Amino acid sequence: MSGPILVVGLSNVGDAVLTTPVLNALHEQFPGAPIDIVADRRSAGVYESCPFRRKVFHKEKRAPLRGLPRLLGELRRERYDLVVDLRTDFLAYLVRAKRRLPKWRARPYGAHAVERHMGVIAALHGARPLPPVAVWPRPEDRQFAAAALPAEGRWLGVGPGAHWPPKIWPARRFVELLAEVRSAFTGVVLFGDAADAGAAAEIAAASPLPCVDLCGRTSLLQAAAALQRCAAFLGNDSGLGHLAAGVGTPTLTLFGPGDPARYRPWGPRAAWIEAPGRELGQLRADTVAAAVLAAAGKSER
């Protein structure tokens, strides 16, 4: 197969990162085939610098009929050798293609989202090991990160936010944790979007370590490049942990509500803690501190 491939991806940032093993597997099997991707604008940055993607088509959720007529008009101008639909059970059949692998025909390798996504291409991938997740910062993203974070020292990345309040560990607990681990790190890098600025400011004001606040100040790939410079990353169940795993940084994710068996960051350096009773307010700082130090101990940064 050397003609183009279309992969229909997912909408949230973390979910998009968890689809990248499918992209890696397809590229490994068909290295000469360009890959087009359907993505939401909020997660499209994950794929922006993927070295083997050709085009990114945006699905506009707020457009009439969720943007499907416009999207189909764009997609039907192309003719694909293969369509892999990780998102719906029908879109693959509305696109011109020689072969279609829709979600409903998946043969999952396991319960995790990566194993389920890879199950969509099980007929192609077979029994080979599942690829890792990947995020591809560009040289200019690494330049941004180098300017934001001095090379010397060991930085702890912290993501204090999430898109649902029950998934957020209280800011005061992050401060308590920093007091527990202060001897292991040079400073703290706060990651998130503009909505996380309040929690980040609260942590920075009380932190026993110097803080660099990047909340609301980075693109996805700039955040990924900065995460790559961290010795470890600690965060709530959000896309940041997946970005950290995508650049190989040891990551610890805090789960209250949510299912780590299915949605934890993917990779050998990704760890997680489940809060007692699934309530993050019940999770002790010293418990998390021990896990952070264990994760950072796996890092050479």
Give domain 5-125's CATH architecture.
3-Layer(aba) Sandwich (3.40)
Please tell me the pTM assigned to this model: 0.94
pLDDT in the model for residue 153: 85
pLDDT in the model for residue 63: 60
Q: What is the mean pLDDT of the chain?
A: 94
pLDDT in the model for residue 209: 97
Question: What is the spatial distance between Cα 200 and Cα 191, in angstroms, rounded to a whole number?
Answer: 8
pLDDT in the model for residue 2: 79
Segments of the chain assigned to CATH 3.40.50.2000: 5-125, 139-296
CATH topology for the 139-296 domain: Rossmann fold (3.40.50)
- Encode the chain (301 residues) as per-residue pLDDT tens digits: 679 999 999 989 999 999 999 999 999 999 999 999 999 988 999 999 999 999 999 987 666 556 788 899 999 999 999 999 999 999 999 999 999 999 999 999 999 999 999 999 999 999 999 999 999 999 999 999 999 998 788 999 999 999 999 999 999 999 999 999 999 999 999 999 999 999 999 999 999 999 999 999 999 999 999 999 999 999 999 999 999 999 999 999 999 999 999 999 999 999 999 999 999 999 999 999 999 999 988 565 5
- Per-residue pLDDT tens over the stretch 51-64: 999 999 998 766 65
pLDDT in the model for residue 150: 84
Q: Are 224 and 134 in contact (CB under 8 A)?
A: no
- Per-residue pLDDT tens over the stretch 19-33: 999 999 999 999 999
